Structure 1
Amino acid sequence: MPTGSPDVLLRTEGRAGFITLNRPRAINALTHAMVLAVDDALSRWERDPAVTTVVIEGAGERGLCAGGDIRAIHDDARAGGSASAAFWQDEYRLNARISHYPKPYVALMDGIVMGGGVGVSAHGSVRVVTERSRVAMPETGIGFVPDVGGTYLLGRAPGELGTHLALTGGQIGAADAVLTGLADCFVPAAELPALIHDLKDVPADLALTRHAAAPPPGVLAEQREWIDACYTAPTAEEIVERLFDAGVPAAKETAETLLAKSPTALKVTLATLRRSRALATLEEALDLEYRVSCAALTGPDLVEGIRAQVVDKDRNPRWTPATLPEVTDAEVARWFAAPAGGDLGLAAGAAGAAGAAGAAGAADCGARGGA
């Protein structure tokens, strides 16, 4: 019998505990209450010897999770932002918990998986994508910066692929999700019911060997040469210049895409990603992202970006400043200052959890894709 709350359904079948994000009309966008419900379930099942595997899935046909409830963030930012900061505190703690979970944590990344949806899936030990998967960190399009550990994950993708995805917010399919380290295994969507059935009774790695296959071809491997050449530039302005000058139609289209994003968000995203690459742990990256997220509440672009994309839906954001050269180094530095309410402090408490990292084992997909 399912338990939990209306927006997060919990059930146990056989040896598995199932978490179903249940806001299908909103593509299961996360609210604060949902984050707390998932965390509570993980806490209880961690101590329950009858549960040996945890599975997270999304209700409906559209996807696992489209991210956080950005309309709520828009309204809160206009009112001062305290509720959003509290939401991020608990969301980022959940992301860190997932990364250290001592039992197999199987994320079924079918359909749309964006923003906060990446946070509740891509830090797990077993990340499954299908031909319907569309994975992205699209924050720069709303005047925000990849969070939920996104800069940590993308900063460790091969070459500059993660920089490309972080700045453009581009959606990727199954093969590219595996290539960039956001997923482990491809399972055809038609096989998901059988996989779920097997997860109830057999270890996750055995269940996956029964159903994993080679994914359809991706696109990033073929674009790697111009992506690496352009995104190693030291500044966002020079990245755009190199993209225009690359002589590749896809690179020119990418430059035009970047120029439509928030200039401030682009510069702060680039700086955050490069800082995250030098950090040793996810917790350190989440602490850094928390500073950046709180800073976003004090500027104009987050409210304006959500207004244009979600509230008024005119798709015509008016960024402030409007161009990359107008975004000063001092403005970028401001985003990395400690927030008025204090730092998140995850890294300080991570030492005790470090021993549990990887205890569940990573997915072993004999047919995994990628390059």
Structure 2
Amino acid sequence: MDEPQILSEVRGSLGVITLNRPRAVNALTAGMAATMLQTLGEWASDPAVSQVLVRGAGDRGLCAGGDIVAIHRDIAAGGRETEAFWATEYRLNSLINAYPKPYIAYMDGLVLGGGVGISAHGSHRLVTSRTRSGMPETTIGFVPDVGGTYLLSRAPGETGTHAALTGEHLGAAEVLYLGLADHLIDFARAEELFAELERRPVDEVLPAYLLPVPASNLEAWRPWLDDVYARQDVEEIVSALQELADDGNAEAQYAVATLAKKSPTALKLTLASLRRARDLGSLEETLEQEYRVGLRCLESRDFPEGIRAQVIDKDYAPAWNPPTLAQVRQEDLDACFASLGERELKLNPRALSDAVE
């Protein structure tokens, strides 16, 4: 029989959740999200559990994101299973953000997309020298979700805008600088740390395991990142990057080449989502906005095409439609933010019972 995709146990007073799909780098499925939501809801009121640890099986990463192969299949069938999956997943993100006990996320290895959603909203977020994290959704014709637009819109200056549009996989220094994690630890001592957490509070144990935070490239690049990515639209951003590239800025040149490969619609929709998220007052409001945008992306051409090119056929040659930034219509972007009516996702950050219903 196949092993469960989520393993949960209480060790001493530590509740441990292990994502258990190591061959898929623990890619998150609907069933996994539902199980995590249920388990965390039960542990929230269980006096035997004083704190929670979330980790991934294997040594490749916590979670490489949502199971986009399953999403691709579901899009062809109408997308209703994905709609339900996201509703559960976003409730899980909200619960983690408001969790009443220490929530310790071990962000070793790959932590992408949905993996950020189950870690970066926690109270204690630990990265290692092996961490490669980020929101790579524009690569597949999609937009950062699971609260990614909330987090990146609140990163220092415009560094989050750069990270969201380029979709780059980032190391520990950049993840810490963006505010997606709190502390750097040595992965070789992780099991020792986890054993201590079974009997002692995380805030008492953790200081002995912390490593110095390395210098961040994003922080060093802030002057030109803030200038470029504050522009009003993606065309202006690309033009400003090109000017820097022409003047010899190698990082700007790389960014120009990177953005040229992304879905034009996804780039514009991501920028609009970030700008709107910056003005929203809570994670829950942002998740509700991401849900609206996500359901519209299920009906788009670029999302399934991006998944096809990256993980189905693996030809890495998506045919984006429309193919250029200039051809993306503002009215189509605006429509993605319109109310879903009765299908709206309604989250209450103060009601734990709502999150686990």
TM-score, scaled relative to structure 2: 0.95
Aligned mates of 2:94, 2:82 — CA distance in 1: 18
DSSP 3-state at the match of 1:55? strand
Aligned mates of 1:222, 1:159 — CA distance in 2: 12
Q: Offset of 1:51 from its aligned partner?
A: 0.6
Note the 1:257-336 alignment, pairs <5 A.
Answer: 257-336=258-337
What code does the residue aligned with 2:209 have?
H
Work out which of the residue numbers 191, 194, 197 in structure 1 matches 2:195: 197
What code does the residue aligned with 1:147 have?
D
Corresponding residue of 1:129: 127
Structure 1, residues 96-148: CA drift from partner, whole Å, max 9, x if none?
A: 00000000000000000000000000000000000000011000000000000
DSSP 3-state at the match of 1:176? helix
DSSP 3-state at the match of 1:84? helix
Q: Offset of 1:341 from its aligned partner?
A: 5.5
Aligned mates of 2:32, 2:213 — CA distance in 1: 31
Note the 1:77-88 alignment, pairs <5 A.
Answer: 77-88=75-86
- Cα pair 2:95 2:349 within 8 Å, conserved: no
- Cα pair 2:98 2:349 within 8 Å, conserved: no
Aligned mates of 1:212, 1:196 — CA distance in 2: 14
Aligned mates of 2:216, 2:187 — CA distance in 1: 17
Aligned mates of 1:155, 1:56 — CA distance in 2: 25
Aligned mates of 1:170, 1:338 — CA distance in 2: 31
Structure 1 gap segments, 5+ residues each: 354-371
Aligned mates of 2:257, 2:90 — CA distance in 1: 32
Aligned mates of 2:44, 2:341 — CA distance in 1: 34
Q: Offset of 1:255 from its aligned partner?
A: 1.2
What code does the residue aligned with 2:349 have?
A
Aligned mates of 2:181, 2:330 — CA distance in 1: 35
Q: Offset of 1:56 from its aligned partner?
A: 0.1
Indicate whether 1:344 and 2:340 are aligned.
no
What code does the residue aligned with 1:309 have?
Q
Q: Offset of 1:352 from its aligned partner?
A: 4.5
TM-score, scaled relative to structure 1: 0.92
Aligned-pair Cα RMSD in Å: 1.1
Corresponding residue of 2:40: 42
% of aligned pairs identical? 51
Note the 1:213-232 alignment, pairs <5 A.
Answer: 213-232=211-230
Aligned mates of 1:234, 1:157 — CA distance in 2: 18
Aligned mates of 1:216, 1:155 — CA distance in 2: 23
What code does the residue aligned with 1:15 have?
S
Corresponding residue of 1:364: none
Corresponding residue of 2:181: 183
Aligned mates of 1:159, 1:50 — CA distance in 2: 42
Q: Offset of 1:220 from its aligned partner?
A: 1.2
| Count of residues in Structure 1 that have an aligned counterpart in Structure 2 | 347
- Cα pair 1:173 1:218 within 8 Å, conserved: no
| 4+ runs deviating over 6 angstroms | none
Structure 1, residues 298-353: CA drift from partner, whole Å, max 9, x if none?
A: 1100000000000000000000000000001111111112237521011xx33556
Note the 1:19-38 alignment, pairs <5 A.
Answer: 19-38=17-36
Corresponding residue of 2:355: none
Aligned mates of 1:183, 1:81 — CA distance in 2: 32
What code does the residue aligned with 1:285 have?
T
Aligned mates of 1:340, 1:70 — CA distance in 2: 26
Q: Offset of 1:191 from its aligned partner?
A: 1.4
Corresponding residue of 1:118: 116
Tell me: CA distance 1:82–1:72, structure 2 relative to 1, closer, same or farther (3 Å).
same
Corresponding residue of 2:50: 52
Corresponding residue of 1:90: 88
- Cα pair 1:226 1:251 within 8 Å, conserved: no
Q: Offset of 1:216 from its aligned partner?
A: 3.5
Corresponding residue of 2:74: 76
Aligned mates of 2:220, 2:214 — CA distance in 1: 14
Tell me: CA distance 1:195–1:351, structure 2 relative to 1, closer, same or farther (3 Å).
closer
Q: Offset of 1:187 from its aligned partner?
A: 0.3
DSSP 3-state at the match of 2:145? coil
Corresponding residue of 2:148: 150
Indicate whether 1:107 and 2:108 are aligned.
no
